[in-house]
Structure 1
């Protein structure tokens, strides 16, 4: 070994260590600054929305249909349409997404077809939402002649969130220890019994986290629904999957596009209601996840 390197290496190492620590502190401060800047901006937006929207939140706002007159306008049809849509999306997307993830992780072979499917799922997760709107318009609205109905919107939004549910579910299934599978096999369980009775319950909290994120995205999307022709003015309540509909993001978009200040304030009130629906939905899912984790323990 070189004598000079032996003599000076400790000093260089100490200097490099101090340099790395200094860079780490700077990076930590930068991340903290970005985080607090984002939180401050969110607080400003929520404050502005609250100041404009809370004064419109009364019984008439929830029980009235949209109107050309601000003081008579409400979100009844949009709120009911949103609940209809998100319920149908959940019944369509969650079983398909979780079943696909379970198949890819527990039953499929690591071959070329499987790798191709995984690559496509990863790519679909990053596709802009407007592309799903074009697909829904071509396949469901025109191809299958479902028209501008709730089922067309639900199928389109299900396509949008399926990659997110599949990826999150696969990651949750991967975290299940192999010892659980081996224990089930040693007791004579089949692969299906092991996956259904042991792997799936153990991964349920992680799967539910992915479902929360996916449904949160679906409830706030506007572009795909506009693309398939969801109405901006609906003065009736949908009674079935084949009825026309509107949702709260589209109603908010409609009000914001109007020049009157009152409609902008109505849009702020609708944003508050949409956030409340989203928080209630997420809180319910988190509560179910917490109870499931306690049972598993």
Structure 2
């Protein structure tokens, strides 16, 4: 098995991305702005979606989201008429494209200056971005996509963690496309603590329908009135947390320092990417 999480042999390059927000919601990043620009250039949703490598439905979903988050139309579709109909951008959308590109240029210059001035800035900048994410899922595991098995409706995406474990997620084909998931790309796997089943011991992989079985050692047990939060430390430093009853902790003999396996279904994994 290849270790896809090994550091590259070449020099590290500094990267980053820009996106617009409306309140706490992301209005759009480079992919959505590229879609707007393609609509401007082609006057067609079909042509724009093809130009940016997006499905027709995915393009309209993105447009609907942008229209809603902007609080006003950015894309307007007309049908019939002398010109045969088509798709156009509002003046606000055209300004948004220009503004994004201007900010992106300044952002790139900032990263170039920072990368030259601060030792190790590239790795720290990426880590700060991940730390700054706020979400309800208790478990946030960062890794690298190692394979994507395509299906008619859903795809199976495997994410390698730094310690050697691999997480499998089942997502829609559209999500794979929209997120740009491909071998070698970075991804964040989100799993709610309530979706994690804990098994005592470190035996061989069990015959279960759940695809993900991550073996580690119990690091912390936080008991409550009814439930307990159990943190399992994985090789490589990652931690995955499960919520079980206090009775289950006692029945399983879970204790700090003892081996345990965190089990969860591939359908319980949500994948995210930055930018």
Judge same fold: TM > 0.5, yes or no: no
TM-score with structure 1 length normalisation? Answer: 0.24
Larger RCO (alpha carbons 8 Å, 6+ apart): 1
- Name whichever structure is richer in helix by fraction: 1
- Name whichever structure is richer in strand by fraction: 2
The structure that has the greater radius of gyration is 1
TM-score with structure 2 length normalisation? Answer: 0.26
